[in-house]
Amino acid sequence: MEINKLGIGISLGLVLSGVQLSYAQQPSETTETYGDWTFRCSQVAARTTDASETENTNTSEGEAAKACETTQVLRDGNGNVIAQIAFGQDQSNSEKIVTVFQVPQGTLLTSPVRFGDEELTKYLDADYFTCIQSICLARAETDEAKLKDIGSVEKGSLIFTDRSGRNIRVLFSFKGLNDAIERMVSAQ
């Protein structure tokens, strides 16, 4: 099943919620690779829609807003996208890291996405919040310490349930996650 690149853009927008941006021009973007993880940071010209948003986001018309995320695309043996993982800092509370998981449509929405180490001794559950086109998105909040603790091992598991009740388990690498998270936190 091929999931298009729309998901990455969606995850960025959803992970970094709190500001409605109007794009006056194409963003200038920095992309760095840390092991199997990608750090991406964009500067975009932002214009808020009302005074209360300006007050809450410390962004006024004409100023640049920074949107950063750490991601990994999970593929099957044929190179097809199975799922995507994105982390970003909560714009209203920099101590929180928002996690968004993109999985194929047809998942059982009453069962959360589980993200953790390979044996699931340390994990994070994320509840679904929307399905669009051929994908479903789940969201959870955590902090840097818990995320680094989960990612302190070599391999991780992402588990979601298809609508027939069968668990789909995708193994992936944590290599570079902690460095990418540190970079993301320092960039904000």
Q: Model confidence over 26-62: pLDDT tens digits? A: 558 899 999 999 999 988 665 555 444 444 444 444 4
Q: How confident is residue 63, by pLDDT bands cut at 50, 70 and 90?
A: low
Provide CB contacts within 8 A for 95, sequence distance 6+. 143, 144
Q: What is the pTM of this model?
A: 0.76
Model pLDDT, residue 53: 45
Does an H or E element contain 24, and which? none
Tokens 């909560």 correspond to: 90
Element counts in the chain: helices (H) and strands (E): 4, 10
Q: Model confidence over 148-178: pLDDT tens digits? A: 999 999 999 999 999 999 999 999 999 999 9
Residues facing 135 on adjacent strands: 104, 132
CA distance 155 to 16: 26
Q: Model confidence over 98-155: pLDDT tens digits? A: 999 999 999 999 999 999 999 999 999 999 999 998 999 999 999 999 999 999 999 9
Model pLDDT, residue 82: 94
Closest CA to 64 of 34, 25, 31: 25
CA distance 157 to 131: 22
Provide CB contacts within 8 A for 147, sequence distance 6+. 87, 97, 99, 124, 177, 181
Model pLDDT, residue 56: 43
Model pLDDT, residue 12: 43
Q: Model confidence over 65-90: pLDDT tens digits? A: 788 999 999 999 999 999 999 999 88
Give yes or no for residue 9 having a pLDDT over 80. Answer: no
Token pair in block for residue 33: 């690779």
CA distance 32 to 105: 29
Model pLDDT, residue 45: 60
Model pLDDT, residue 4: 40
Range 56-64, long-range pairs (CB < 8 A, 24+ positions): 56/18, 56/92, 57/18, 57/19, 57/91, 59/19
CA distance 52 to 157: 40
